[in-house]
Structure 1
């Protein structure tokens, strides 16, 4: 009988860079980066330096990696070739001075089944965690929920880690926590909706038609605002209804993964104020393009 090897979750390609000045980088396996021991002496020396400036000078020359994926040709969000399925988050000591049992933090965090890796940061004054994601295509939304889940545990994680292009400096921990059977994190943050019931129950025929279209948009998760111009046009058309159109603009906008309640609300207020010459007919035309109608089947 042969023993079946379980899949090595760290055996995945990521982008790596030869210091901060390297623009294009190369690729390597996540495992190779995490367990690289060629720079231990430099890292241990860095940890003895008295000032942050001196530490940063050494840090700039150390290998860096984008834990969340492969980027080409350069490290930009729009150049993400494929997501690694992981997110890396930082827990800095300076942001968590309220934690009294700091020395026990790694052990406590290791109890979370979603954490695959825990290591000292390059400075030795914090930790970084690598967590597999259930929905890597929604990296930002998963990070936002992760941040909130950690806050409920009394832990502040670095907000910058929500950036899919976030760079991780090579580090060293003599005793890292490794869990090759980590469970993908399923948390997903959604911007709060302005209301649960957006349907209009009055006698206005136009508003009833808009409400029926919006009901179908919501039910079928149809994004009719998939680019800025479409979003702007839909907003102008619904703004022609005055304040009655606000709730419907939120319904349409919230089908897009980039939706933010406050941003959407501000845009609608602006559109109502400026009064662009686009009537509600444009809304129905856009709906028609997506096979959405107010007519009963």
Structure 2
């Protein structure tokens, strides 16, 4: 039952005094008119782009600790009761706000979703099946779940169990009484495993100096020669997971997104039936978002050399021709 969850209600958000209130009553207050005047004033300031005034007003609003109650002060070490509730923010949803709200309201794990104080974002609640010592991990798992299922990025800074959430007003708040407890901690373990795997790839490969790389035009010409060599012989340098990752980062550190993506997909397609266009597109775009890494254009040349490609081949041929003359 939703009313069985107990949360902390702070009439003055930065004071220690709080009241224990059941979740059902708290959510009903968001739907009703009790907080309406304060929130409508805040939203008007936000719409008028009076962000400083909006922030000042917001920080005077009552607030809630959904994950539990605390005493004598609101810190993780002073947790009295743990509710298992996790609050997640979708910030600056803009014109997609209503569609996102509708999607989240139908998710089996989401207990409730409502408008944020600004009216430009959403708040959502899930119920973790884990104890308080797993709260941060459960929060992290929830952020991964939102990203993988809805392509929504949740700020991981909100994972503290003692986090305050300001009250709001939403007559159309969505509440799911048939919610399921969130039990997806394995998502974090899988994410860590992938990150460790990527780190392992780069730890095996020597750091290459950027001043040893050819300039952009020479890189393009060299890539075309390398690709021609590989495609003509039915060879690939992205056949293994490690090389697939290396090549993606190498191209993202050498060319712009348009050219790097084009080159990466060209190389990946040499894998034939083993190529996954969608996953390759995701990887190369992710590489550009992550910035530089140890892999460089020299990484491509090294991998191609292992397949028999010789970057100096044309130069050697030209020398022989000149000698004959």
With the shorter chain as reference, the TM-score category is: 0.5 to 0.7
- Alignment partners' CA distance in 2, 1:57 and 1:171: 15
Q: Which residue is equivalent to 2:176?
A: 179
- Alignment partners' CA distance in 1, 2:142 and 2:35: 31
Q: Per-residue displacement from partner, 1:265-287 (whole Å, max 9, x unpaired)?
A: xxxxxxxxxxxxxxxxxxxxxxx
* Residue number among 29, 32, 57 corresponding to 2:25 in the alignment: 32
Say whether 1:20 aligns with 2:4: no
Flag the structure with larger Rg. 2
- Alignment partners' CA distance in 2, 1:147 and 1:12: 22
Q: Which residue is equivalent to 1:84?
A: 83
- Alignment partners' CA distance in 2, 1:13 and 1:102: 28
Aligned runs of 1:1-297 on 2, under 5 Å? 8-36=1-29, 37-49=33-45, 50=48, 51-93=50-92, 101-137=96-132, 138-152=134-148, 153-188=150-185, 189-190=188-189, 191-192=192-193
Task: State the secondary structure of the residue aligned to 2:153.
Answer: coil
Q: Per-residue displacement from partner, 1:77-135 (whole Å, max 9, x unpaired)?
A: 01111211210100001xx67xx743311111122101010000011010000111111
Q: Which residue is equivalent to 1:242?
A: none
> For residues 56 and 83 of structure 1, do their structure 2 counterparts lie closer, same or farther at Cα, with a shift above 3 Å needed?
same
Task: State the secondary structure of the residue aligned to 1:70.
Answer: strand
- Alignment partners' CA distance in 2, 1:69 and 1:186: 19
- How far residue 14 of structure 1 moved from its aligned partner, in angstroms, is 1.3
- Alignment partners' CA distance in 1, 2:96 and 2:60: 33
Q: Output the TM-score relative to the length of structure 1.
A: 0.58
Task: State the secondary structure of the residue aligned to 1:107.
Answer: helix
Q: Per-residue displacement from partner, 1:44-63 (whole Å, max 9, x unpaired)?
A: 11111131211122212211
CA contact (8 A) 2:97 2:120 kept: no
CA contact (8 A) 1:68 1:87 kept: yes
Give the unaligned 5+ runs of structure 1.
Answer: 1-7, 196-297
Give the unaligned 5+ runs of structure 2.
Answer: 198-325
CA contact (8 A) 1:34 1:170 kept: no
> For residues 59 and 139 of structure 1, do their structure 2 counterparts lie closer, same or farther at Cα, with a shift above 3 Å needed?
same
Task: State the secondary structure of the residue aligned to 1:35.
Answer: helix
Structure with the largest fraction of helix: 2
- Alignment partners' CA distance in 2, 1:11 and 1:58: 31
CA contact (8 A) 2:111 2:126 kept: yes
- How far residue 31 of structure 1 moved from its aligned partner, in angstroms, is 2.0
Task: State the secondary structure of the residue aligned to 1:15.
Answer: strand
